[in-house]
Amino acid sequence: MFRDRLRGSVPPHLLHLLPRGFSVVGHVAVLSIPPALADYRNEVALAVLAQNRSVRTVLNRVSPSADDRRVGKMELLAGTDTVTCHREGGFSYHLDVSSVFWSSRLAYERQRIAGIVLPGERVLVPFCGVGPFAIPIAARGCRVLGLEKSAQACSWLVRNVRENRVEGRVDIVRADAWNLENLLSPCFDRAVVPAPYGQESILGAVQALVRPGGWIHLYAFKKQVQIEDLISGFQDRGLEVKLYRPCGNVAPRVSRWAFDLRLV
């Protein structure tokens, strides 16, 4: 339907280059327009606004993430306000889409993990962001420690924890997750690790902080052909793979994969 809206506005021989859709975070839509369609950015933005009447701001991601924020360079195509409130699973998240990380593709995983944690657990969440994993888990009666390096994300996280009324169950530490072993002692029942691209090797540091019999939910970017060797590596580390599934393509033949790992 999105591409159909642009027939007649974009030359027929370029229609196949159009993105298949876009992500919506609150009232902000985010998409990636190929350079070959740069002259049609305004037409694409208008099609986005027509497709979803709740959208008031349209951002074009013109470059991938190149810093700790995991956001990439954004170009404003429509609207003015990139600060929004996104509602998901009964919770509200305030954030500036142009400066902090948010993945709509992980919405199902956030609800799934919140549904399997047990009240009273101590849960570690490195790369915590603005709180989409930490807050639902805390609302289930867990005690959560969220680590986040970005100052902007930490500021939003503090607000979101307060407004979702879980401030008594979420501890926030502004720190680089790669310093885990120097910061923390091994006392966690569970860890949820939405690792940035190429940083899934943090698993070793996380594993050292989770008690025997505990759980690690790891998110890693991999090709299908890499999964068998990855699972074998987990088993060699004393991790039992209870579940693995793709949860969103990020590049040709590359998906984000979810792994539920239990420490033997």
Contact by Cβ (8 Å): 90, 102:
no
On whether residue 31 sits in a domain, the answer given is yes
pLDDT tier at 183, thresholds 50, 70, 90: confident
Could you give the residue ranges of the DSSP H alpha helices within the chain? Answer: 2-5, 41-51, 107-116, 134-139, 151-163, 180-183, 203-207, 227-236
Number of domains in the chain: 2
pLDDT tier at 181, thresholds 50, 70, 90: confident
180 vs 97, more confident? 97
- The DSSP letter of residue 126 is S
User: What six digits make up the tokens of 108?
Assistant: 């199902």
One-letter amino acid of 140 = R
At 139 the pLDDT is 98
Distance CA 26, CA 3 (A): 22
Do 73 and 130 fall into the same domain?
Answer: no
Do 77 and 107 fall into the same domain?
Answer: no
Contact by Cβ (8 Å): 126, 193:
yes
pLDDT tens for each residue of 116-148: 999 999 999 999 999 999 999 999 999 999 999
- Spatial CB neighbours of 2, under 8 Å, sequence gap ≥ 6: 18, 19, 20, 21, 22, 47, 48, 51
Kindly report the CATH number assigned to the domain that includes residue 210.
3.40.50.150
- Spatial CB neighbours of 15, under 8 Å, sequence gap ≥ 6: 3, 6, 7
pLDDT tens for each residue of 229-264: 999 999 999 999 999 999 988 878 899 999 999 999
Query: Would you give the distance in Å from CA 189 to the centre of its chain?
Result: 22
Q: Which residue has the tokens 């984000």?
A: 256
On whether residue 87 sits in a domain, the answer given is no
pLDDT tier at 99, thresholds 50, 70, 90: very high
On whether residue 96 sits in a domain, the answer given is no
Do 52 and 171 fall into the same domain?
Answer: no
Kindly report the CATH number assigned to the domain that includes residue 48.
3.30.300.110
Query: Residue 169's domain spans which residues?
Result: 102-263
On whether residue 112 sits in a domain, the answer given is yes
3-state secondary structure of 247: strand
- Residues of the chain with pLDDT > 90, as a percent, come to 85
On whether residue 90 sits in a domain, the answer given is no
Please provide the DSSP assignment of 50-114 as one string.
Answer: HH-TT--EEEEE-S---STT----EEEEE-S--EEEEEETTEEEEEETTTS---GGGHHHHHHHH
Do 57 and 164 fall into the same domain?
Answer: no
On whether residue 51 sits in a domain, the answer given is yes
Do 33 and 146 fall into the same domain?
Answer: no
pLDDT tens for each residue of 54-78: 999 999 998 765 555 567 789 999 9
On whether residue 167 sits in a domain, the answer given is yes
Point out the domain boundary residue: 81, 116, 133. 81
Do 133 and 253 fall into the same domain?
Answer: yes
Do 185 and 255 fall into the same domain?
Answer: yes
Point out the domain boundary residue: 21, 50, 81. 81
Do 148 and 30 fall into the same domain?
Answer: no
On whether residue 55 sits in a domain, the answer given is yes
Residue of 261, 181, 257, 168 lying closest to 220 (CA atoms): 257
Do 185 and 62 fall into the same domain?
Answer: no
Q: Per-residue pLDDT for 167 more than 80?
A: yes
pLDDT tens for each residue of 29-39: 999 999 999 99
Do 160 and 206 fall into the same domain?
Answer: yes
Do 249 and 197 fall into the same domain?
Answer: yes
Do 149 and 74 fall into the same domain?
Answer: no
State the chain's mean pLDDT as an integer: 93
3-state secondary structure of 226: helix
One-letter amino acid of 247 = C
